[in-house]
Amino acid sequence: MAAAMLRLLSIIVLASLCTTPARAEWEWTRWGMTTHAVRLAAPANLVRLDEPVGRSRLRMLFSVETEMMGIAVLARLGFGRGGELGMVELRPVDPAVGCPAASGELARRLGAPVSQRRSPSPRLLWAEAGINLIEFRSAGDGACIIRLTPLPKRQPYLGG
């Protein structure tokens, strides 16, 4: 009887792993989450915003200070017109230390970028596990931005 229960539990766990929805590989977020779901899942220090994202239909509606890959970051969450999560933007709190560390850690974890540009400012793109498009942009003043967005479905060169 115990063996049958253990086998049933193993099947349930395996089935749940196979049907897990795509998730943004950042903390507690999932692509398509509503603002309400984000508020419920977020840490207590979540701050409400309402800032447009340049040349986009997204609006940054929340920010939270947290840690990513051992680097203190300010995370901002962007939502589409329908209220669904469509972007996670991360900025190191201390750019002089955090930007080189983040760039190195992304390269170590994700390998060679699928696209890179050095001019006018450095920009690297990674396609992560068929889920995320990760963009690392560096500014001339030493600051940087890391953006996670859902991987486009129809971009075979990016793994989508």
pLDDT tens profile 61-101: 999 999 988 899 999 999 999 999 999 999 999 999 999 99
CB 145 within 8 A of CB 137: yes
24-52 pLDDT, tens digit per residue, is 557 889 999 999 999 999 999 999 999 99
Return the domain boundaries, the chain: 23-158
Query: What DSSP designation does 96 have?
Result: H
CA distance 65 to 80: 22
Strand partners of residue 111: none
The Cα-based distances of 82 to 34, 48, 51, 126 in angstroms read 9, 18, 16, 27
- Residues 89-108 as b/e (b if ≥16 CB within 10 A, e otherwise) read bbbbeebeebbeebbeebee
**Which residue has 């779901």 as its token pair?**
37
CA distance 150 to 22: 9
CA distance 80 to 22: 18
Q: Sorting pLDDT into bands at 50, 70 and 90, what band is 8?
A: very low
CB 95 within 8 A of CB 120: no
